[in-house]
Amino acid sequence: MASSNTQNVIRDDDIDNDVLIEDVEKRPALYDKKLKEYSDINFKIKAWEKISRIIFSNPWSNLSQQEKTEAGNFVQKRCKNLRACFSRELRDQKFTKSGQAATKRRKYNHFDRLLFLVPSMDTRETSGNAEDICCEEDSRDADEDVSQRSQYSRKKKRNTIPYEERLLDILDKKGLTITSLLRL
């Protein structure tokens, strides 16, 4: 937690999300797990310190070392929150079923600015436990369940195409290509 002295100097409103996003984008070692610098703790500490210094440029020279550390943690927490909101929006867009009634909800306001994170995000497969079938009646019920699940999974696979097309359209509007994103 931030000390009362730090809270007087650093407020939640002091962080400009657009500046934070721009500075994180300039430092791919903070988000791209494929880079060797991603595993270098000292490199990442220095990168976060530079970002914190940019975000809090006015009060930075007046802060104690402890306050600077707390400010850096505050910036990292905000960045983690932005990434989580982006990930949630990306997931919601991806799993919107075609033909599904449109809901009145706005797109996350930093979504377009955070698209640089897409190539470095992990998507994990989920798995579950299946119970052993002990009798014929249960076996028939299980067969019905499997056929219903396979219909659902087929629908799910078909619905990923519109999402990918939307994502490519957004990248195209921003003048980005997949190869340019991979070079980052």
Q: pLDDT tens digits, residue range 30-64? A: 998 889 999 999 999 999 999 999 988 877 888 88
* More reliable by pLDDT, 144 or 70: 70
What amino acid is encoded at 52 in this protein? S
Q: Are 29 and 38 in contact (CB under 8 A)?
A: yes
The mean pLDDT value for 69-90 works out to 90
Q: State the chain's maximal CA–CA distance in angstroms.
A: 76
pLDDT tens profile 151-164: 555 445 555 567 77
Nearest to 15 by CA among 76, 84, 106: 76
The alpha carbon of residue 78 and the mean position of all alpha carbons in its chain are separated, in whole angstroms, by 12
What is the pLDDT averaged over residues 78-88? Answer: 91
Q: What tokens appear for 134 in the block?
A: 């002990």
User: Full-prediction pTM beyond 0.75?
Assistant: no
CA distances from 81 to 53, 96, 167 (A): 20, 23, 22
String of b and e for 42-69 (b: at least 16 CB within 10 Å)? ebbeebbbebbbebbeeebeebeeebbe
> Given a cut of 80, is residue 20 above it in pLDDT?
yes
